[in-house]
Amino acid sequence: MGSRNAHVFLYALCFLIRFCLVSHSPESFSKQGRDLGLQSTWKKLAIAVALLGMGQQAFASVLAEDRTDFLYHRYDGGGVTIDGPSVLVRKSVGKSVSLSANYYVDMISSASIDVITTASPYTEERTQYSLSADYLRGNTTMSMGYTSSTESDFDANTYSLSLSQDMFGQLTTLTLSYAYGDDTVGRSDDPNFSEDNSRQQYGVGLTQILTRNMIAALNVEVITDEGFLNNPYRSVRFLDTNSPVGYSFEPELYPRTRTTNAVGIRTKYYLPYRAALEAHYRYFNDTWDIESHTGSIAYVHPWRDFTFTAKYRYHDQTGAHFFRDLFARSEATNFRGRDKELSPLRSQTMRLSAAYEFISDGWNFIDRGTVNVSLDYLQVEYKEFRDISTGAPLGSEPFYALDATILQVFFSFWY
């Protein structure tokens, strides 16, 4: 491909990674939903890194360029505010090895619907460190990484390996990946509470340059979880005639195992005037009977030193078999959950972003520099989770809906 098309593709990959790094829901960061949220964050990050590697390998068997990235992100919606910085540094050692390190912070202030109905608002900070290394030999790239995430009552450690091989004149790239996660769940109000959760992730990716202007990627992913998978703070509600409001609460109880399967396909087509179209579809199911379909379409348009992107994403899912907004009685079923992210739901996300290359001809030791700004607007409709904070009579509470905005400012420097 020509240099202009490659330039557009790299911008689109940066857009994809920024989109994956910040979740679309407050549950991905707050202690009210970390059981699903952190797992979702790891999956998105792993997919983003894999796609970045496949995209670079598609052009040639070369290591990623030396660069430093600075990110500020802010999520505001549903009574939750999450913001913080992130720094990523990547440096080559010789012609065959590339090292990278990442520091990421979430500062959380939560008064979400879960918190205000069963607990008190809180503040929290999550700190994450990541290290990785890539080794290039011929048309083969081997990668390994380690990520540590720490909160006051939750620790997560993830170890990852991947192998990418270019084939057929570098028109095809096959990537195999594996990750192992070891988490410890605690409670801020009980120092003696401690539960473990282990996670294994298997991935296969295939990238193919189909024509001079079109590239496609197919990704298959399987994740197995075992251990304490629910949130130690969250409760379910059940009918109680002795309660003035008609219901009471008791702790959630989830299965101790879960297997998720996902298949995704992404295509990118480069238009004659340097712009690009991208389409993506992902199918997901798991052993909790959740099934989802996710689709998105994006348009990338360069103009002088700017690159503008518009994206629309749609997601629809069924609920877990043990989810109920209101159980018939206490301990009504073997497993019980009222996490709204386990309910049937529908979400839409609209994104606008712009990137500006403010250093293009070099400055001191810096070869190139860009600044990227993006704004997402998220709408989520929960089909069976009711908003009991309204005080409406039992059974007539409105279904909960969430609106949120996500702001990201992203600086990149190549050297």
How far apart CA 286 and CA 356 sit, in angstroms, is 41
Q: Would you call 245 helix, strand, or coil by DSSP?
A: coil
Owning domain of residue 395: 3-414
pLDDT at 23: 33
As a whole number of angstroms, the distance between CA 312 and CA 216 comes to: 19
Cα 308 → chain centroid: 22
Q: Can you give the pLDDT at residue 9? A: 33
- pLDDT of 111: 85
Q: Is 154:179 a contact under the CB 8 Å cutoff?
A: no
We report the CATH number of the domain holding residue 339 as: 2.40.160.40
- Number of domains forming the structure of the chain: 1
User: pTM for the whole thing?
Assistant: 0.84
- Cα separation of 343 and 320, whole Å? 6
Give the pLDDT of the chain (415 residues) as one tens digit per residue.
333 333 333 333 343 333 333 333 333 333 333 333 333 443 344 334 333 333 343 334 688 999 999 999 999 999 999 999 999 999 999 999 999 999 999 999 988 998 888 877 889 999 999 999 999 999 999 999 999 999 999 999 999 999 999 999 989 999 999 999 999 999 988 999 999 999 999 999 999 999 999 999 999 999 999 999 999 999 999 999 999 999 999 999 999 999 999 999 999 999 988 899 999 999 999 999 999 999 999 999 999 999 999 999 999 999 999 999 999 999 999 999 999 999 999 999 999 999 999 999 899 999 999 999 999 999 999 999 999 999 999 999 999 999 999 999 999 999 9
DSSP per-residue letters across 164-175 = EEEETTTTEEEE
Q: What is the reported pLDDT for 164? A: 96
Report the C-alpha dihedral over residues 186, 191, 195, 199, rounded to 10 degrees: 40
